[in-house]
Amino acid sequence: MDFQSVQDVMERLEGVKYISSREISTVVFLAQATKKPILVEGPAGVGKTELAKSVAKCLGREMIRLQCYEGLDESKALYEWEYAKQLLYTQMVKEKIHDVVAQTATLKEAVDQIAEHEDAFFSERFIQTRPLLTAIRSEKPVVLLIDEVDKSDPEFEAFLLELLSDFQVTIPEIGTLKAKTHPFVFLTSNNYRDMSDALKRRCIHLYIDYPAMETEVHIVKMKLPGMDEKLLRKMVRMVARIRDLDLKKRPCISETLDWANSLVILQIEDLSPEIVSETLNTICKHKSDYEVVRKNILKVVKD
């Protein structure tokens, strides 16, 4: 069932364990109501992909995901002709082709005869659908996630335009295929490069930042209900301080969760500088980051 109001979005997302801000919920609600794609920006690990997954879950839709990378092209994203199958079929129906042309007198007539049956070989039967085509040909509405669209080439971005504005794609041999149902589209970007104005114009923009402390505490509490409240608050405060340090990669929410999880497993009750530096490798993923945090450990741990 579709979302009814902003409040409804918020509650249902929380129902599938995604804590969303008012901003996120409003944008999701508007996007659904106006059938527009959402372009989600934000640092790595703030839950951009997770948002799409959660929306799919609470709408009860299937999620189709397309991971973008350099060199991604139409044949991997949209469709490809199944040449092998076409060949196989041609071999098998060879006899039939003989029958078709048997009655004809001239070569021209024979070609015309075959041309009439051309459709048999360039039909949807021989198309192998890739994520994008699957999404718009689906009988039931789906959630389509185009992940890390900033990693793709400019050509691919241009090619997305038709899909995002009209929800249709053009295949030269067949014609234009229109969407049977409107997919709910999410595009995520880490800002590796700037997206073109044309693409941005077709989307609603949403920026997700690192969560406020209360929100992060809420998230951890929901995923790890067993954790001691005092320890949890102390830990989240520390993560926020670590994020302020000058790091190559700042810890994201999933790393906060990892850290919390390992603290629970190790049955740690209080965070002393020693324990922090021993368990630091769950949140620091570079050697130099690790050293920076170690150097500032007292600043991080202070109450």
Partner 1 sequence: MVKLTLRFVSCCRAADLRISTAEVLDCVSQLDLINPLDEEEFKLVLKSNFAKSRREQSRFEQMYHLFFHEMQRDLSRVTHDPESEQIRAVLDMLREEESDDRLGKALTDFLEGDPMGLVEEVHRIQTQEEQASRALRSNMSQLASRLQVMLKINRMKNKILSFQGGNHAVIDKDSSRKINDSLNEKLDNALALLNDEPRPDNYGLKEVKNYDKKYKQVGEVPFSSLSQEEIEEVRDVIWKLVKKLEEIATLRFSISNRGVIDIKKTLRRSGKYLGIPMEIIFKDRPLRKGKIVALCDVSGSVWSTARFMLNILYSLQECFSKIKSYIFVSDMAEVTDFFKNHDVNEAIEKIMNEAPLNYYVPTDYGMAFQHFKRKHMSELDKKTTLLIIGDARSNHMNPQDLILRDMRDRCKRVIWLNPEQEKFWGTGDSEMRAYKAHCHEVRPCGNLNQLIEFIEDLII
User: Footprint of partner 1 on this chain (CB under 8 A)?
Assistant: 6, 22-23, 26-27, 29-30, 33-34, 36, 39, 41, 43, 70-71, 81, 83-84, 153-154, 190-197, 200-207, 246, 248, 286, 288-289, 291-292
Query: DSSP string covering 215-270, please?
Result: HHHHHHHHH-TTS-HHHHHHHHHHHHHHHHS--SS---HHHHHHHHHHHHHTT--S
Q: Collapsing DSSP states into helix, strand and coil, what is residue 112?
A: helix
**Least distance in angstroms from the C-beta of 76 to partner 1:** 10
Structural tokens at position 248: 């190559």
Strands laid side by side in the 62-67 sheet:
62-67, 142-147, 184-189, 38-41, 204-207
Shortest distance, position 205 Cβ to partner 1, whole Å: 4
| Residues in Cβ contact with 22 at an 8 Å cutoff, skipping those fewer than 6 apart | 6, 10
Phi, psi of 33 (to 5 degrees): -70, -35
Nearer to partner 1, 14 or 126 (CB): 126
Report, in Å, the least distance between residue 288 CB and partner 1: 4
Return the number of the residue (27 or 235) whose C-beta is nearest partner 1: 27
Residue 60 burial (C-beta neighbours within 10 Å; 0-12, 13-18, 19+)? exposed
DSSP single-letter state for residue 280: G
Q: Which is nearer to partner 1, 138 or 251 (CB)?
A: 251
Beta carbon nearer to partner 1, 36 or 61: 36
167/263 with CB nearer partner 1: 167
Nearer residue to partner 1 within complex by CB, 154 or 273: 154
Burial environment of residue 264 by CB neighbours within 10 A (0 to 12, 13 to 18, 19 or more): middle
